Structure 1
Amino acid sequence: MAEKHWSYLAAGTSLIVAWFAVTLQFGIGALNPGFPDWFMVPGADWTQHYFGWVYYRFGEWHWPPGTLNGYAYPMVSSMGYTDAIPLVAMPLKVLSPLLPEPFQYIGWWLFTCFALQTWFGYRLLRALSAPPAFAWLGSLFFGLSPTLLFRDGHPALCAHWVITALWWSYFDKDGKRNPVYASIVTGLAAWIHPYLAAMALTLYLAILLKRSWIDRMLSLKAALIYAAGTLTWTWLSFYLIGYFNLQSTQQGGLGVGEFSANLNTWFNPHTESAFWPGLPWADSGQYEGYGYLGTAMLMLIAVMAIYRIFKHQGPWPTTRAGWLALVTGAGLFLFALSPRWTFFDHTVFQYQTQLSLFQTFRSTGRFIWPLYYLAMGWTLAKISIWWSAYGWRGWLALGIFLGIHIVEFGPKLANPVVRHEPFQSPLPHVTVWDSIFLKSQHVWVYPPYNNRIRDAGDDLAFMEIGARTHRPISEGGLARRDDRMAYAMMDTLTARIHGQGWFAPGDIMILSPEVLAQSDSTFLQKGDAYLIDDYLVYVPHQSDPEGELKQYLKRQNVIPVSSKLILLPDQVFAYYPDDYVLFAIKDEATQGMSSRTKTFFTDRGSWLGKILFQSSYAGIWRDSLLLNEESAKLKAVQLDTTLAGSTIHLESAGMASGNYVHMLVEGHELANQDRGLHVVILSPEGTLVTTGYGDLYQSR
């Protein structure tokens, strides 16, 4: 078959590999631009990339054009620091009016990465003299590289095709325009990710050195012009993307050595092999240096090394170009090891350095990739040349090794955390939250920039609302952040919780009941806090002078908390001695009730401690003593009495019997209509002390 036909076949195969790689890992929904739901997973980097894109898409244009506002508010950052892939994000922002909402491109970006990786794998093997049939088969090793498959949680860093394409440009002997192609690829890398840009620049300089010093196809002057031009372009790209917007970042130095490569990386499968268990690492962060070659590739390397030694050739290069490539890849590998070299869980060598590159690129382990693909390409090419002498039998032998590779990694392809169904907000009253966001101008999350309010990853629900409503929010993950501003905002918001400082018009704050309990008493004097879905939304009086938001919440039967104490039901009696405590249930109120609370009520002979799911309950207590109660599974209950001269009317209906609650004192409704256990506290004289409720379905 002619060379061009093999190229057509390789291109078609690249698309097929990409299709299966994406759909088997993430499901067909990943290729639906209108379905961002597939990566809505708490704690996943995907959400950071997507929310960064959404805030960038709908934000106003600023200079430089990659500037990001509203996300991690009030920081002025860059959409590049959310790994939103500037190469794609900036053109799509221009086309935003033509795009649907929502719109995600992560799935098709991954498809492109797998396709180009397979295609450039074929081109690299041909440049290394592998016969077309063997190069076509070998390209699948590149498209299904364990290291590439492992990076699925970080889409921007899945552009391994940049490295493979530059190795192809390095070894291609026929392409007179190779410096131009290499310049284009390196220039694109600057718009994908800084780590890839750093690797690309290193390989690019090696290409220029080879072309001018070894091949004599490029003058020194031309090489210097190419180098200066590409370095200038990279710097300009970083400026346009907005990477220089941050003035006081300190995160770059954190984790140096922790996110390195381990010397066992080449044969350590971690959790990705269906054949072998993972081996120890010195630090948990050494997943960044994951470089497992796979059983089949390790066997091919061993076979090739033995063969060359037997032929008295040795496993090392025999040309200056080969040595330059090896030195380049090995140099990057040494950088990947960081200043602390580790083997399994032992430190074997360590040195002190103030090299700023280690501060800038703290995840040094990623720099193994150039040597990784060099070793893969060299091995497959040499094996192909050797086995091609055996005709179809040699091709079949390589196919068997490819089969081993697929069997080892195929069962591990499916990503277990991907969503295949539409995203459902964990907030039961998400429509209420939507309206709260829309009626505000700025959303302050406390603590800010922490990726959690109460529990790890619970910020996702509020980030999703912020993205949909396009409201600035003091939350959001960034690869680099303005630490000085982050600390200043933490201090500012903490001061406001303690009654100091002022909010701006349109401000609201989202915080946990635990934070409210530690606040200053003036905090609730300067605003109202509403407990919704186990979170508090604080509305300062000055930010809602017309009372629009407060009136909306009142219409939704959400009343402000009157105390900064958020208590377990059994704790209420200790805080309100001698007072009457009235309980009534609405909806699914007791599934999440703590065992401590259940035991408390059961020991006192109450149905509340052993009430069945979705049941109805109304009761009156005083000083931990049950005075009266009514409970039922499939019907509503009612309790009427008089306390210290005040008429009391309680009604409760669980999910199966109407789903409502009423708590009337002297005819005044005191229950909001949120799901949960509603509480009214009356003094011994029958006057109202306070009200409250607890959602005991998802919390205690």
Structure 2
Amino acid sequence: MRGAEAGAYSRRSSRETAPPMSSNVPLPVSVPASSHRALLVARTVAVLGGLGWFLWLGGGPVLPPTRIDWMMREDWAAHIFGWLFFRNADWQLPLGATPNHFFPYGTSVALTDGNPWAAVLLKPFNALLPVDFQYTGPWLGLCYALMGYFGARLVETVSPRAVPVALGGTLLALSPVMAARFGHPTLCAHWLLVALLWLNLRDLPDARAATRSLGLAALFNAIASGTHPYWVGMLMPLTLALGVRIVWSRKLGLARVAAAVAGIIGLDVLLFSVFGYFGGQGLGAEGFGDFSSDLATLVNPMGWSRLLPDLPAAPRQGEGFGYLGAGALLLVGLAAVSVLVRLREARTVDWRRVLPAAVVVGLMAVYALSSRVTWLGQTVADLGALYAPLEKATNAFRASGRFIWPLSYLVVIGAVLTVVRLWRNVPAVAVAALTVALAAQAYDLREDKSALFKPVHFQRLQSPEWAALQGPYQHLALFPPHAQWVCRYDEALVNALAYQAYRLKLTFNSGYASRTPQALEAECHARLPRDGLDATTAYVVLPEHLRPFLDAGARCGRVEGLAVCVVAGNTDAFAQGLARQPIH
């Protein structure tokens, strides 16, 4: 057996000295069926490791799709209401459009960061789904499972052994960066980055494999386009790097690769349009230069570590959080030592296969630093003049710090692959290193920092009087409208009314979206609705605005302590019910 392994190792070593990037080193030419089964088990272990870590971080209570109360807070509320109002809306373009939310201007699932792909794929089954239904919890669990899976596939590029594959895949799923994004569920699809890095680093033995890699890159880009624009901003450069590697390795010609990459870009743009990202509201917003990464971000826990101290950072640099974790940092050190100890083995590795991906990851990391480069929160360089001509792009991707994520993962992946590759003929060393790193990573991460553990108190409106709105009324409006970051915003009141409007299949004029209709801002301080009182609208009116409504002849009364007004001429059951607690 040892002789066979030595022969395989010799054959692999001869392939490693081939021309640049023409072939790479990962697996033997023929892998026994038993090894395939072992790798399948290893991938499954990594998937379960990712899911288990998600549960440890508080994922259990959010997994059941019929539990929605936990989402009635901050960005989660934007996501759930984007989906719920979409359920009540008719199909139209752009896909995910919700004209009944932020009425009369409308919004979309995309502009509430509500995961357009999930919403569009589930809407055909709307009649079969419970009234209270969310997909965000299962989505988060899926993201962790896929992190483990693609992490395992990455380790397979340098080792066919099951134990390092399982350990390395699980280690990647324990990323602090991913856990820190629970507040923005669509930004938890970090597996897309790992998948693109896998495509960039895996073996490309022939043109067929190269073509398959481009096809998978197109698939991952398509998923990214209907998940969150920032993923496309990161995946597209990695797709270009993949194209460069394929051309460089002479597996496919330049014209064919260029056509494929152009097609992927076109697909991204088409899906952006179909899902409504190119709306009249615009994609720009303030914050570029503030939502950045610090030069020390890879080693700054920002409260997430039990073992390492926090370092200074600017107030809004949480968006650029890139902490690797104590276990991953330990493995980086072990990888560096391994290169020195196993120098002869290191010289046989074709390090150039990672070069195209490393270049684009480095460029994204530079962008993550933004126009104000900081060290421990203090500005050390001002690049404002450099970015001034790119204002539209930087406003669209204002949270530049997120572009540190590819570097964070590439560093960890590089450490895992280096240790496994250099010690592959002494696998016990690699297994020991990965085991210690995994244990340190699990212990280091403070699970109590998980947003999934934060309590949410959602109070539904209980009065049966609200049911009388259904039929005579088409709209429920909070006046003046409340919109996060634009107008006054009472989260508890907005969420209670929005949920009631959803249950009664009414439109609603307030909420939380990543990009809010600009015309809405003009109504924030209006005394009365712009076009006067509408007979099909029930208005929940703030106390300081009651007098203008009464002067306009509205009939007002209290329902569950809220002031509600309708047109004086309405004689329906709800209007008559307002007389039980009238407001004069």
TM-score strictly above 0.5: yes
More strand by share: 1
Larger Rg: 1
Report the equivalent of 1:302: 333
User: Following the alignment from structure 1 to structure 2, what is the Cα–Cα distance between the partners of residues 257 and 307?
Assistant: 38
Closer, same or farther in 2 for the Cα pair 1:265/1:534, shift >3 Å?
Answer: farther
Q: Distance in 1 between matches of 2:46 and 2:527?
A: 57
Q: Provide Cα deviations, 1:466-513, integer angstroms capped at 9, x if missing partner.
A: 222222111121112221x2234436xx1417xx75122211222322
The question of whether the paired residues in 1 share the 8 Å contact of 2:338 and 2:422 is answered with: no
In the alignment, which residue of structure 1 is the partner of 2:543? 513
Q: Secondary structure at the match of 2:153?
A: helix
- C-alpha displacement of 1:274: 2.5
Answering whether residue 372 of structure 2 is matched by residue 372 of structure 1, we say no
Which of 426, 448, 456 is matched with 1:412 structurally? 448
Amino acid at match of 1:473: F
* Deviating more after overlay: 13-22 vs 29-38: 13-22
Q: 1:354, 1:440 → 2: CA distance?
A: 50
Counterpart for residue 221 of structure 1: 255
Does 1:106 find its partner at 2:133? no
Flag structure 1 segments of 5+ consecutive residues without an equivalent. 563-700
Structure 2 residue identity aligned to 1:239: S
1:561 matched residue in structure 2: 583
Q: Give 1:404 deviation, angstroms.
A: 1.0
In the TM superposition, what whole-angstrom CA distance separates every residue of 1:102-136 from its partner, at most 9, and x where no partner exists?
22111111111111111101111222457442122
Q: Which residue of 2 aligns with 1:549?
A: 574
CA distance in 2: counterparts of 1:416 and 1:224, whole angstroms: 43
Please say if 1:159 is aligned against 2:189.
yes
Which residue in 2 is equivalent to 1:340?
Answer: 372
Matching residue of 1:265: 297
Structure 2 CA distance for aligned equivalents of residues 224 and 90 of structure 1? 31
Provide the rounded CA distance (Å) in 1 between the counterparts of 2:92 and 2:393: 29
Matched-pair contact (CA < 8 Å) for 1:130–1:382 = no
Distance change in 2, residues 1:56/1:464 (3 Å)? same
Deviations 1:157-182 (A, max 9, x none): 11111111111111111434211112
Over 3 Å counting, the alpha-carbon distance change for 1:539 and 1:21 in structure 2 is farther
User: Matched residues in 1 for 2:320 and 2:471: separation?
Assistant: 43
**What corresponds to 1:293 in structure 2?**
324
Query: Residues 302 and 119 from structure 1, CA distance in 2 versus in 1: closer, same or farther, beyond 3 angstroms?
Result: same
Q: Superposed, which structure 2 residues align to 1:25-424 within 5 Å?
A: 25-40=57-72, 42-43=73-74, 45-129=75-159, 131-174=161-204, 175-176=209-210, 177-212=212-247, 214-244=248-278, 246-249=279-282, 252-282=284-314, 284-308=315-339, 319-352=351-384, 353-355=388-390, 356-409=392-445, 411-412=447-448, 415=451, 417-418=453-454
Structure 1 residues 106 and 454: CA distance shift in structure 2, 3 A: closer
What's the offset of the Cα at 1:37? Answer: 2.3
CA distance in structure 2 between the aligned counterparts of 1:416 and 1:223, rounded to whole angstroms: 43
Query: Are 2:502 and 1:470 aligned?
Result: no
Query: Alpha-carbon deviations, 1:361-406, whole Å to 9, x = none?
Result: 1111111111111111111111122344443354133212211111
Give 1:20 deviation, angstroms. 2.1
Q: Among 481, 487, 490, which residue is 1:448 paired with?
A: 481
- Tell me the secondary structure at the aligned position of residue 537 of structure 1: strand
Residue-by-residue CA offset, 1:76-122 (whole Å, 9 max, x unaligned)? 33211112211211111122122222221111111111111111011
Which amino acid in structure 2 is aligned with residue 301 of structure 1? V
CA distance in 1, matches of 2:263, 2:253: 15
Q: Deviation string for 1:539-592 (max 9, x for gaps)?
A: 232xx52253221233xx3x2222xxxxxxxxxxxxxxxxxxxxxxxxxxxxxx
> 5 Å matches for 1:471-486?
471-483=506-518, 485-486=519-520
Distance 2:140 2:104 in 1: 31
Matches within 5 A, 1:484-633: 485-490=519-524, 494-496=526-528, 501-516=531-546, 519-520=547-548, 523-541=550-568, 545-554=570-579, 557=580, 559-562=581-584
CA contact (8 A) 2:558 2:578 kept: no
Structure 1 residues 316-346: Cα deviation after superposition (integer angstroms, max 9, x where no partner): 9964332222211010011111111112221
CA shift in 2, pair 1:404/1:533, >3 Å: same
Give the conservation status (yes or no) of the 8 Å contact 2:331–2:433: no
Structure 2 CA distance for aligned equivalents of residues 123 and 272 of structure 1: 28
User: How far, CA to CA, are the matches of 1:298 and 1:314 in structure 2?
Assistant: 23
Distance 2:495 2:298 in 1: 35
Task: Please name the residue that 2:11 is paired with.
Answer: none
Distance (Å, rounded) in 2 between the aligned partners of 1:155 and 1:92: 17
Amino acid corresponding to residue 181 of structure 2 in structure 1: R
Rounded to whole Å, the distance in 2 between the matches of 1:106 and 1:507 is: 31
Q: Which amino acid aligns with 2:40?
A: Y
Shift of 1:526: 1.7
Task: Decide whether the 8 Å contact of 2:482 with 2:489 is kept in 1.
Answer: no
Provide the rounded CA distance (Å) in 1 between the counterparts of 2:134 and 2:516: 24
Distance 1:133 1:310, change over 3 A: closer
User: Gaps spanning 5+ residues in structure 2: where?
Assistant: 1-31
Conserved 8 A contact 2:78-2:112: yes
Can you list the C-alpha shifts for 1:444-463, whole angstroms capped at 9, x where unaligned?
A: 22332424867454322212
Q: Which residue does 2:28 correspond to in 1?
A: none
Q: Aligned partners of 1:129 and 1:182: how far apart in 2?
A: 23
Alignment CA distance shift 1:14-1:446 (3 Å): farther
SS in 2 for 1:152: coil
Alpha-carbon shift at residue 59 of structure 1 (Å): 0.5
> 3-state DSSP class of the match of 2:524?
helix
SS state at 1:216 partner = coil
Amino acid at match of 1:288: E
For residues 258 and 551 of structure 1, do their structure 2 counterparts lie closer, same or farther at Cα, with a shift above 3 Å needed? same
Compare the two structures and name the one with the higher helix fraction.
Answer: 2
Change (3 A) 1:248 1:108: closer
Q: Distance in 2 between matches of 1:435 and 1:288?
A: 45
Specify which structure has the bigger relative contact order, considering alpha-carbon pairs within 8 angstroms and separated by 6 or more residues. Answer: 2
Change (3 A) 1:6 1:81: farther
Query: Cα–Cα, structure 1 residues 231 and 27, in superposed 2: closer, same or farther, change >3 Å?
Result: closer
* Whole-Å separation in 1 of the counterparts to 2:92 and 2:479: 27
How far apart are residue 424 of structure 1 and its match?
A: 5.3
- Asked whether the 8 Å contact 1:438–1:469 carries over to 2, the reply is no
Percent of paired sites with the same residue: 28
How far is 1:439 from its partner? 5.2
* 1:418 to partner: Cα distance: 4.8
In structure 2, the CA distance between the partners of 1:549 and 1:190, relative to structure 1 (3 Å rule), is: same
Partner of 1:4: 36
- Provide the C-alpha distance between the structure 2 equivalents of 1:272 and 1:86, rounded to a whole number of angstroms: 30
CA distance in structure 1 between the aligned counterparts of 2:228 and 2:131, rounded to whole angstroms: 26
> Does the 8 A contact of 1:438 with 1:471 survive in 2?
no
Q: Distance in 2 between matches of 1:115 and 1:159?
A: 11
The one-letter amino acid paired with 2:440 is I
In 1, the alpha carbon distance for the partners of 2:401 and 2:460 equals 36
Distance change >3 Å, CA 167–CA 59, structure 1 → 2: same
TM-score where L is the length of structure 1: 0.72
